[in-house]
Structure 1
Amino acid sequence: MFSNRLIAKAMEYSALKHQGGTRKGGDIPYIVHPFEVAMILKENSFDDKVVAAGLLHDLLEDTNVSKADLKEEFGAEILDLVLSASEKLKGREDRSWEIRKEQTINYLKQEASFINKVIACADKLSNARSILRDLEKEPTDFWQRFSAPKEKQKWYYQSLVESLKELEGLKMYGEFKKVVAEIFD
């Protein structure tokens, strides 16, 4: 499925940099998430640069990879795609969960290009799928693993659905709406 050199390089780089990390509240290797994001993008027929950005999208937020590292390895265009899928990095630790999420929603509504929204949708769909799978396994204490309670998560995900509505007609957006509804309705 992933035969392109760029995608293979991004897979290897992402796996190496996320090595040892696990998903929130579990023992699933973190790399499963970027791989799923890439698969969603590929299934929705996006080009190799977009798929590579999907593989690399969490490196700036969650590892010690710098912008300069990414630019050197993958070029300015892919760095820009990754930055568009990342929370504002400067001062991130000083902002509350809610402020960071409001910034993401406003960015997607007001500034993000179509392709930026596509990468964000693939990322959020992967997260929502993970929530749904884990919620079905552990319904009672599930929400305690997050930085915000269920009601705030509901607000965030429903706001994401609204902010990404330009993607109506894409398979991944339709699934995202459906999974969010299953989780919160």
Structure 2
Amino acid sequence: MPFMFCNLNSVCHVSSRNDYSFWLSTAEPMTQMMNPVSGTAIRPYISRCAVCEVPTQILAVHSQDSFVPQCPHGWSPLYSGYSFVMHTAAGAEGTGQNLESPGSCLEEFRAVPFIECHGRGTCNHYATNHGFWLAIIDKNKQWRKPMSQTLKAGGLKDRVSRCQLPLNYSVRDENIEGTTNV
């Protein structure tokens, strides 16, 4: 995604810096040689989404446990997932999610759930990319210094917190009942 940057003299430049963008990726494996992809070859690697209006409140609830948390009383479940916190890349690049945001509860777990793209039109899963997930905390050890642990393929989800996206329809119903025709 090329960016345009402008200075105080009203001079703008397009695609002339290290333009980085990060996209939620699919589970599609990269090319065998891990070469960057460009053009229409990028499509299978970038996740598709649909933005829908929800006529009510929605939030993410995280358990810091292997069990999916229950919805608060009066709320209905939309979906459950894994607690995603943030990602980083080379240098100071990266971004995060507020934990109450629906974007912090991803339905699928992938160690690094995004792909990095550059202004020159290439995308790849680079070795400098890191995904940060909310970890499970043993209730008996939650106020102690955590012990370091290295997890390898096959056991990665064993320490990732689960989450749930509840919807609060009662707020919507109250708003509907309180409306008047003028």
Which TM class, normalised by the smaller chain length?
under 0.3
Normalising by structure 1, what TM-score? 0.23
| Rg comparison, structure with higher value | 2
More strand by share: 2
Looking at secondary structure, tell me which structure has more helix per residue: 1
